[in-house]
Structure 1
Amino acid sequence: MSTPKPATILFVDDEPSILSALNRLFRPQGYRVLMAESGENGLALLQREQVDLVVSDMRMPGMDGAAFLAETRRRHPEIGRILLTGYADITATIAAINEGAIERYVAKPWNDAELSLAVRDAVERLTLKREHERLTALVRQQNVELEQRVAERTAELAQANTKLSENFQLSIQVFASLLELRNQGSAGHSRQAAELARRVAAALELEPSLQEEVHAAALLHEIGKIGLPDALLQKPESLMTPEELGRYRKYPMTGESALLPLTDLHNVAHLVRSHQERFDGRGFPDGLAGLQVPVAAQVVGIAVTYQNLLDGRASPRRHSPDDARGMLTGMAGARYAPAVVQALLKVLNTAPEPAAATDRELGLHELQAGMVLSRDLLSPHGMLLLAKGHVFSARVIEQLRDLAQRHDQKLRLHVELASIPVAEPA
């Protein structure tokens, strides 16, 4: 452990005998003693030396003690200041205290013990003040570093949560694609219904979080059908027998049960259960009516119904978009709330605004490592192969080429323009 550095005291007096006496008194006490015979010399010495405390006489020719200590305060506010003064100088002493912010004054002739105590107290106060400032600065620095670490960790967690959320959403899409494999000719059914449901939810100005839940529920609305036989899944509802229809109509409850173990999908599970309820109370599985049917569930239901009409799932034949719109318009106030039907029609009748080109369609032979997929890549059967945002590696490109060759498929991919290397001029 290092030995503390002794305090340095500057004594200023125009009488050499007094300076000599002060030197004899304080040097044996372990202080480093400096001396000056005038205020001007004292200020010059302060420019060269590191001083802790100044003890100055009041009466000096030229610059008196009050002026010297006031100037010392202005130039070196961190240095302690003590004034030696006679009883006859009380008025000047009060002025010096006010102007120089003198911590203490000692009357001349002084008592050695009293002066030693005054100096020791002043040095201790300075030491405590500096330690306090050091600790305050240290705590401030530690707080800055802690805030920086917290900010970095928060950013890391946010990035991890974003990645986890993206992976979770990707898992939902992959699972929806797997469900569609059991229904021949229905590639992309859930995906298209989910995108339509999201747009209808936005048109109804539902909360952004609820819009995402609507999208997820539409993707997973068929999860309860996983245990139904293929023959039943491929039969339109209008051709089912009463027994088959009764079995079929349990799938929303089965879907809810399958999703409930996933905490993040509790609300989605509820929408899956209710998406086949009707505004007039004639839906299933619970026969809810009117405001009992959540608006978000109706949004999922109407998007799914529209897609079912286009895909020939609701009847033996496929319906054109115009026919499907007409049929759903007739369901306002019966199967769906009028506001939900109006929102669907608004979305279907509104052409999307053309967006500036941000991607380019490429063939497999044009792909390079580092390029970024700008749209989900689907197989010809509607299976999700790669999700939007995927960064291609040489290994993945080779796997895609092998897949296309083995199954004799032509895959076209959309890649972000910003990730396509700019060709160097010849």
Structure 2
Amino acid sequence: MEQRTLFLVLSLTLMTVGHAQRVRGVFKSMPHTPDTVHLLATIGGDLQPVAQARIHANGNFDLGKLDLEAGFYKLGINDTDHVDLILGPNERFVDLEFFGYPLQEHITVKRSAENQALWSYKTISRSHQQAMAGVRAERAATDPADTALLTALDRRAGQLDEGKARERQRIASEHPDSYFTYALTRDAALMEALPKGWYALKSAVDLSDHRLLRSNLHAKAVMAFLRSSPPEQYAATCDSLLSWTASDSMAWCAIRTQLITLFHSYGPDLLAEHLVDTYIAGPQAHYPADEHLERMVQERLRVSIGAQVPVDLELPRPLHGDTMTVGALYAAQDHLLLFFFSSTCGHCHDEMPAVRALAAEADPLELAVVGVSLDEDLVALRGTVQEERLDLPIVCDLGGWGGPVAKAFAITATPAFFVIDRTGVIRAKPFDTQEARMELQRLREGLKTR
């Protein structure tokens, strides 16, 4: 009942009164025409479904009359192929044409001043990115001693940035009262305030402003407050952000979800636990959590420090040609360190020399270090193991992020580390190999004093 009520409240808050918008379009000359088009609303860092429409045999679709607050929305045909749109009371009619995939690169805005401005700027940004990529490639290939060419490349990069800024200002001046210009102005204010600290940020952005909430600027602003705080102040920063927006259910819920998702994925664990205990299960849980957040919290509790790992979980070792269980691994020594990685993760590669050294130094009666790969490609995994000289047991079910091992440990980011004792209890979830060393030393000293 709570979830249904929350969805109804959310649906109503997406609506405004008396100014219906119409969104329609056509898929022309497509290799194949999809069946359905979906409209999603941006709520902080999250997306919520708003409407959908059938795509007819002739490629036409019509989402009908919508009453939506001004903001950024996404129109798409699946989870990955979608385009940004600006919708709101001032944009009464939006007419689109798609002529290929991905949709982002094959769209024409036939009617809608807001979205013509938006996609004009996106085209300029794409050209700027391509030109800057060319400059970076040329700089990488330039002899460091060729200072004249390096200076010329720096000048060219500066000219490209200035050109993009001029075009952005031109588009904004042509649409001074648009949501697009509002978003550009708020983004500029946020970036100007960022190096000045907390009070400047608080003056620059209103986290309860629903116009801000309906763009990625809201999530960006939350991250700006965290970046302006030292790590030991993160908890106080989170509490302040939630306190400021407690009277606005939409803003408060968006910030709570963003913060719990962030610290659930990247740690520190104590901060994630503080947020869950206080704002999900505790006295300051002003609004019920949605299904996604509840599921994330349950996954977190399942692999929190002090939890028992699944003893019978099978761990395939394709490079060794056998399969082990978690129970067999952790029971053989005092502690087991699991190192979750993937071949495409740059930070994982950064950790591998330290992981390799820790494994080489370990007393086999005290510690085993096991790599857990999230690769889906055995060739890529074998290449990484050889390149990084990972002389340690490697587990991989070739299921990637959706595989049973990743799911069993609720992995949402790599690298990830788990320290498990010989009874199968999670004793630590260190941030990196250096912290793993410290935790293992602490645990060893604890064993000696027993």
| Shorter-chain TM-score tier | under 0.3
- Larger Rg: 1 or 2? 1
If asked which structure has higher relative contact order (CA below 8 Å, sep 6+), I would say 2
TM-score normalised by structure 2 residue count: 0.24
Q: TM-score, normalised by structure 1?
A: 0.25
Of Structure 1 and Structure 2, the greater strand share is in 2
